Amino acid sequence: MKKHPQHLRHDLDLDIGTIRRIFRTAGEMKKKTYREAATKALRNKSLAMIFAKPSTRTRVSFEVGMTQLGGHALYLGPTDLQLSRGETIADTARVLSRYVDGIMARVFSQDDIEALAQNAAVPVINGLSDTYHPCQALTDIYTILEKRGTLKNLTICFIGDGDNNVANSLLLLSARLGIRMIVAAPKEYTTSKQILALARNIARGTGASLRLTTDPNEAVKQADVIYTDVWVSMGKSNAEARKKAFSPYQVNGKLLARAPSHALLMHCLPAHRGEEITDEAIDGPRSIVFDQAENRLHVQKAILLELLHTH
């Protein structure tokens, strides 16, 4: 057992070489012959999956991914662990490390991910926290690479809640990979100063550019990819105030008409149709939303192979 396992707590944990290798492996994972060849890659390996929040894509993609790689995944819901009765995160991490080969956690606080990683003797994967969603961002950039063939001269325009976990992770990963990103959000819901400073510091060394605006119509004019997410993330309050503030930021046919004709449309799902996105947009010819959702499986299999295979 490695003394210091490789974790994926957030978007800065993996070096660029590892990220590019994950993208290559994900591409191989989509090929039938490679999928069949990889069925024993994680044989006799187990992944503990801690869920403090409900999930569709994260649970199914990780569970199916482990199965397809010959391993086993254990679903541990909010009432399945002694965490609900006061056992500490640290003790939970230490105990699970004696049983399993990796821990994936979908939680509220990023502090819980950090505590798991600090105390686990096995790799810890952030399946989502209120601050970051690294598996989603890796999947998103992989999907863009798959569709465009390159990440060069790429501009991603994120419309809506600029302070949510997906926007944060996309900003950091874009900064690391030299991608231009524009966040169009109301001032009170724009990217936090901490995340922006972190991303801009990285961008200085990679040639990425990061811009904030309150004007979605102007922002999409340069977009190669238009991205949106729910206006009220899990755990966020003041839903009605948010819906009112975000109503001019709906991704619909009118907004898409202002973007270049080649611009692709993404959403990490679940979508609240009629709020942040319309049926016309999500079901239209520009949408790659469901390809993006499928790729969670392939990218996460690549992540599991990278972190668990050699552990």
Paired residues of 273 in beta bridges: 277
Catalytic residue among 9, 10, 59, 106: 106
Smallest Cα–Cα separation from 299: which of 53, 64, 108?
Answer: 64
> Do 110 and 143 touch, CB atoms closer than 8 A?
no
> Do 69 and 297 touch, CB atoms closer than 8 A?
no
> Do 48 and 76 touch, CB atoms closer than 8 A?
yes
Catalytic residue among 130, 140, 163, 229: 229
Could you tell me the two tokens for 10?
């957030």
d(CA 264, CA 49): 32
Catalytic residue among 59, 133, 180, 298: 133
Please state whether 40 falls in left (phi above 0), alpha (psi between -120 and 50) or beta: alpha
Is 135 marked active-site? Answer: no
Is 133 marked active-site? Answer: yes
Is 21 marked active-site? Answer: no
Catalytic residue among 9, 57, 224, 268: 268
Catalytic residue among 68, 136, 250, 292: 136
Angstrom distances, CA of residue 72 to CA of 45, 101, 305: 6, 10, 13
Encoded amino acid at 149, one letter? G
Paired residues of 159 in beta bridges: 184, 228
Angstrom distances, CA of residue 14 to CA of 9, 11, 22, 152: 9, 7, 10, 20
d(CA 27, CA 301): 11
Is 106 marked active-site? Answer: yes
Catalytic residue among 10, 267, 296, 298: 296
Catalytic residues: 106, 133, 136, 229, 268, 296
